[in-house]
Structure formats: C-alpha cells, structure tokens
Homo-oligomer: A and B are copies of this chain.
C-alpha cells in the first residue's frame, strides 16, 4: 500500500464505490450553449496571443474602467498566475502568499525563480498587522478571496486597507478571484488599483475546467505587453475553439450562475452541519466549495479514509496547514451524505485512537 503524500496520487481514481471529497472540480455541466458552435466550427489558424478580441471586449464590460486591451486570455488561471509572476520577476525578489495556500502557489513562485514568504491567516482571515510586516519589501502579494482551501472570504474593509497599503509599499497585488461567482455572504469585491493584477477563469463559474480558459486583467500597459511577450514564446494563443466556447458561455443568462450558486449553498450547509455533528472544529465556509476542519494527524486520516473507507480527502499539510483536512463538496447530496456516514464510522472506530 503506497503512502499518499500529494494530491496527484488521486488523479484518475474514481468509481468502484469511491466517494471523493478530493478534487476541486465542479461536477455540474457547463451551459449547453458552449457546445453549439462546434457543429459549424472550421477555424484552425493561430489566434492573437493576447486572446480573441470579442472575448476580451465582453470581459471588459464585466469590469468597471477596464478595456479589452487590459486582458490576456490564458490557459486557465494556472497559466495566468505563471505569466503574472514571470512578468513581475526581479532577481532575488520575494512574493508573499497566504497560508494556508492553494497548493500550487509556492511552486508557482519558485518556478518563476522568486522566493515565497507567507502571511498566516487566522481562522482563514487576514491579520492586517502581520500582513503589513510580511509584504514589506516584497515584489508582489497574492490575495485569494474566496479562498481555496479555507472557503473564507476576506472582509471588505480589510481588502480596501490592503489596496492602500500595497500601493504605499509599491507591492503588486495578484488577486486570484477564480471563485468570485461562488460567494454565499455578499457579492465579490473586485480588488482595484494600478498595481493590481486580477486572475480569473471560466473553470469554476461555467464548469469548463478541461477547456483551460482563464485570464489576467492588468491595469499597467507594460504588464500586458510583458505577459503577451512571454506567452508568445512559451505557449502562443490559448486554444481558439475554447475561447469561442468561453464567449458563448458569457452570453448565457446570469440565472445560470445564480442557480448553480444555490446548489453550492445547499451542499455547503449540508456538509457543514454534518461535520459539526461529527464533533469537528471548523468554520462555516463563505465561498468556494471547500470545508477545512481541524483534524489530528491529517496524513493518517487521508490514508485511513482512502484505504479503509473508500473516501478521498486532502491533507491540510499540502496547503500549508498541518492540522487540518480539506473536503471539497463538488459532488451531489446523496454522495456527500454517504461520505459523511463513512467519515463518521471512521471517527467512531479509529480516529479517537489517532
């Protein structure tokens, strides 16, 4: 039996009675409209490296003050992060990350040959005093609200103070807002300022993970130019057909997103109550689709649950939090129910002795 020590262990693991609270991938389908264009599609040539203009024009309408030229369409938010960091590269520079963090962040910073430093969240929330100390002298800071893995949303006044602070300290803000349409407590707050790079994607809002369409929205022209230049050498245009599909998705009535959010909300309530009943210490998620309860010895929990109970959960250690476990609730209610039953059984029989 192989000891599980990274999320990649679970890739391709499914079926056979397995309940997965693992992957952060929506289970619901994209708008059916995105498939319609394909019947007539005959394109094949390179597209603009910056991304197709109709898509960028449409995006610009969603962001006050933005123009189509402020966007670069990318291979998902992952490439948007990679390009943003590479564009901001300076020898010896530091980049501040939240901790717990999305598991790719520290790798992204190192792959851009810079050094990650961390501001620790308190119950998933930013502590401004600590934050201010950590970002001083950094080239950039990553903000992730709503957050993966914590499910928390940062307070409005905190985000506004961060905007001012970062501007004063000349630190770029990389605001990863991929869960912007998945908030249960208020509307998303778009971080603003000349020094802000907003990352987003069609993966979570429209369930289009596999098509890899994301974008970076930057206010400074040199950043757009630099990002396009890098992408010209490292990837060229984002898949042309996927960009057309993303464009179709944006034309779908907003009710699509709203309805979906209601489904996420009911799942959130169900799993939150369920885990609380099992006696776990956790906060109520405010966005995204993760719960992040405290659990002792999380790696043992991950291995026990997988090998003995056919349940996938992720070790908080992979996200910089060695005393928690991440549950994604991107699965339907009956599965969540059955998963919780198994977790309960495990807790009764084995966890106590952990």
Using CB atoms and an 8 Å cutoff, list the residues of chain A in contact with chain B. Answer: 8, 11-12, 23, 25, 29-30, 35, 38-39, 41-49, 75-76, 78-79, 81-82, 86, 104, 107-108, 111, 113, 207-212, 229-230, 232-242
Compute how far the CA of A241 lies from the CA of B41 in the bound complex, rounded to whole angstroms: 13
Alpha-carbon gap, A79 to B75, bound state (A): 11
CB pair B236–A212 under 8 Å, yes or no, is: yes
Contact between chains at B111 and A230 (CB < 8 Å): yes
Q: Which of B8, B12, B41 contacts A38 (CB 8 A)?
A: B41
Report the minimum CB–CB distance from A210 to chain B (whole Å).
4
Complex CA–CA separation, A41 to B11 (angstroms) = 22
- In contact, B104 and A210 (Cβ under 8 angstroms): no
The residues of B that contact A42 with a CB separation of less than 8 Å are 29, 35
Of the listed residues A76, A208, A232, A233, the one surrounded by the most CB atoms of chain B closer than 10 A to its CB is A233
Contact of A232 among B38, B104, B208 (CB under 8 A): B104
- With a cutoff of 8 Å between Cβ atoms, the chain B residues found around residue A209 in the complex are 44-46, 236
Alpha-carbon gap, A104 to B231, bound state (A): 10
**Contact residue among B46, B48, B111, B233 (Cβ-Cβ distance under 8 Å from A234):** B111
Residues of B close to A41: CB separation below 8 A: 35, 38
B residues in contact with A38, CB < 8 Å: 35, 38-39, 41
Known: A38-B41, A111-B86. A210 touches B232 (CB 8 A): no
B44 touches A234 (CB 8 A): no
The smallest beta-carbon distance between A276 and chain B, in angstroms, is 30
- Pairs across A and B, CB under 8 Å, 12 listed: A12-B48, A35-B38, A46-B209, A46-B210, A75-B75, A75-B236, A76-B235, A78-B235, A108-B234, A111-B233, A113-B113, A210-B240
